[in-house]
Amino acid sequence: MDICQIWLANDLEWTPWCMDSKSLSGLPKRKKLTEDDLNRLERLRMQPLPNILQDLNHWMMANGEKGEQEGISFNEN
């Protein structure tokens, strides 16, 4: 069972951390999608996903890029 399903089954709000197209497009480094990545994204398109992940999937396929959350930096003030 996916983690989001566990949260939703318990009536808890679930939002993926920085897994959105704005965060991905703002990464200083991104990688080209591999054939395996494209196949996985295509399979995910066939599943019900939260809107934020549907948008991310679309952005990744349209731009042919992926990133890692570790590449996200935050300014600490």
State residue 71's pLDDT score: 57
Q: Is the residue at 7 inside a domain?
A: no
Looking at the 3D structure of the chain, how many domains does it have?
A: 1
Across the chain, mean pLDDT equals: 83
Cα(first)–Cα(last) distance of the chain, in Å?
Answer: 38
d(CA 57, CA 63) in angstroms, rounded, equals 10
Owning domain of residue 27: 17-71
Q: Is the residue at 77 inside a domain?
A: no
| pTM of the predicted model as reported, rounded to 2 decimal places | 0.72
**Least confident span in 8-17, 22-31, 53-62:** 8-17
* Cβ neighbours of 57 (radius 10 Å): 18
Query: Is 65 within 8 Å of 31 (Cβ atoms)?
Result: yes
Place of tokens 């991905």: 24
Q: Is the residue at 49 inside a domain?
A: yes
